[in-house]
Structure 1
């Protein structure tokens, strides 16, 4: 992953989202230790405090938990929490933007849905 340092999304949020994606992809399993703030700082060439802030976001969302002196670990409910959060926030925001753009371009709902179906098939290699 390459961090977008020119965008509006803070780096610590990008770190948290990257770790969420790693959890969703099965690269970190329940009760498995994740990267430390220092490992993340080295991987992404960022300040350890920035990495720590990203980890803290995930602790606050109950995606990670701390084991004193051992590090951060994935909670049992991590995947469900991430999926719910992304459906309710990220996906909803994207759909809202898509519908708004379609309305501005006079693209009807049937045409928009067909575009989504076509894209879905292409992404699956059908």
Structure 2
């Protein structure tokens, strides 16, 4: 599950965020404890705890003392907003800059994107 691209605690946080975005974890749903997570993935419990704490600090998870960690209400909306901003900054803005640099008119880029909106086989339905 883990790779060398980023710290394991960050990969844990990202995995839980992805589970929230995909709907696998819903608001107010309890998540695995740090010890369960550490045992399941065979990692140091302190590493798992650091990933969970990051999510608490970001407002994605909240703690119920003596019970565990839960997905915060509005966590999915918050994450969607963050990913949306990141998508535009990293993908769309970069695409626009590249198109300008190589002389592709933006209306041509927009037309290409619009054409991709219709999945193949669904045109004319």
Using the size of structure 1 for normalisation, the TM-score is 0.76
Query: 1:39 pairs with 36, 41, 48, which one?
Result: 36
TM superposition shift of 1:125: 7.2
Per-residue CA deviation, residues 14-53 of structure 1 (Å, 9 max, x unaligned), is 2212211211222112211112223333444433322222
Equivalent residues in 2 for 1:102-117 (5 A)?
102-117=99-114
SS in 2 for 1:12: helix
SS in 2 for 1:65: strand
Q: Does structure 2 conserve the Cα–Cα contact (< 8 Å) formed by 1:3 and 1:44?
A: no
Q: Which residue number in structure 2 is paired with residue 74 of structure 1? A: 71
* CA distance 1:115–1:77, change in 2 (3 Å): same
Q: Which residue number in structure 1 is paired with residue 45 of structure 2? A: 48
Q: Which residue number in structure 1 is paired with residue 25 of structure 2? A: 28
CA RMSD of aligned residues (A): 2.5
Segments ≥4 residues shifted beyond 6 Å: none
Distance 2:114 2:34 in 1: 40
Query: 1:16 pairs with 13, 26, 39, which one?
Result: 13
Using the size of structure 2 for normalisation, the TM-score is 0.76
Structure whose CA Rg is larger = 2
Query: 1:99 pairs with 58, 78, 96, which one?
Result: 96
Q: Which residue number in structure 2 is paired with residue 4 of structure 1? A: 3
Distance 1:111 1:71 in 2: 52
Query: In the comparison of the two structures, how many residue pairs are matched?
Result: 122
Query: Any stretches of 5+ residues in structure 1 without a counterpart?
Result: none
